Amino acid sequence: MTPLEQLKMNNKEILETLKKVVRKPSIKLPSQLDIEIIQNDLTITIPFEDTLKNMQTDSAAFESWAIIVKRWIENINRVIIKWDEHILDNEKLHYQRFLFRAKRFSEVFSWVNIHKTNEDCFRKLKTDNGRKIIVNTSKEKRSSGGGEKIEKELNEYKENELEELILSDIKTCEQFKRKFDLNFVDNQLPVGVFEGEISEATRIFPGRKSAIDIWGINNENEICLFELKTAKNKKVGALSEMLFYSFVVQDIVQGVMKFDSTTYEGLQKIQEAKNVNCYLLAPSTHPLIDRKVFSLLNKSTSKIEFGNVKINDDLTFSIL
């Protein structure tokens, strides 16, 4: 395919191309999304109901599909995000989270654009209305250390068991910290976002238990976020989750958002960090998520560093 060749593909043609280049006939695109390429511009149109779904849901993971299609199909210049808007009162929190994701995605990556029909939608985004935005916090370190190691085959671990193993088994935790040069590590960092004060009435995003799986501070004073997945969870939506958590923490680092309290020392470290790194931490990933996906992300922005980390069968870690 030459640089001057003009691309035009519909959903079916994009899917067939992806199947061919990765040699995986079982790959699917979410039927709810309208994904097309016209004159080298990739447009993803999201139905209203899918702006309100969990980020791990294939049809809601618009960032993941944008990144993946751009990585695997050459000559895509721009990605255009378009959506239907029709908000019900009981869905406002979900839509606020969607607006935040879409706006930050377009701000961080220069090749991402918002369709002109949706540009006015961001007037409704509460995180960017100039008011004080607060993130709820834990008051103490979550990880305990010194726990008993659960002996299992890697593919049998549940996510909470893997998280506990990495943070609580002394040998595994020390190895993990050395791999990423961490001087501080913890888990379950809350990312509840509120307007003005902490209360149910001021909550901006849904997800009362939403939290970053594992996080730490390295010796370069960078915050490292780890999105943990098990061997059985290979959804493309992992990329969307990584982006969302990175955008929230980047806003904290830049002072756009503030913790409601920093009595726990780790939170002060986050506010003083100079950069944000975010890693996918898993035994294996979706076949469309490879090293070049992360290379594309890192070549496209200097604001956040992204990486892919393999959990090996012997419970060691390899940066891919």
* Residue 40 shares a structural domain with residue 169: no
* Residue 158 shares a structural domain with residue 297: yes
Quick one: pLDDT at residue 77?
94
Tell me which residue of 134, 131, 132 sits closest to 267, measured CA to CA: 134
In a domain, 2, yes or no: no
* Residue 118 shares a structural domain with residue 153: no
Cα three-residue angle 165-225-145, rounded to 5 degrees: 30
Quick one: pLDDT at residue 261?
76
| Structural domain count, the chain | 2
* Residue 209 shares a structural domain with residue 289: yes
Q: Are 278 and 245 in contact (CB under 8 A)?
A: yes
Quick one: pLDDT at residue 4?
47
Quick one: pLDDT at residue 39?
93
- pLDDT profile of the chain (320 residues), mean per 10: 69 95 92 95 96 92 97 94 82 92 96 96 92 80 54 88 91 95 92 91 85 94 96 94 96 92 77 94 95 95 94 93
Beta strands 258-259 and 133-135 are parallel
Final residue belonging to a domain, choices 89, 105, 128 = 128
Quick one: pLDDT at residue 87?
72
* Residue 225 shares a structural domain with residue 259: yes
Q: Are 133 and 194 in contact (CB under 8 A)?
A: yes
In a domain, 177, yes or no: yes
Phi, then psi, of 56 in degrees rounded to 5: -75, -20
* Residue 228 shares a structural domain with residue 173: yes
Q: How many residues does the chain have?
A: 320
Quick one: pLDDT at residue 146?
47
* Residue 235 shares a structural domain with residue 176: yes
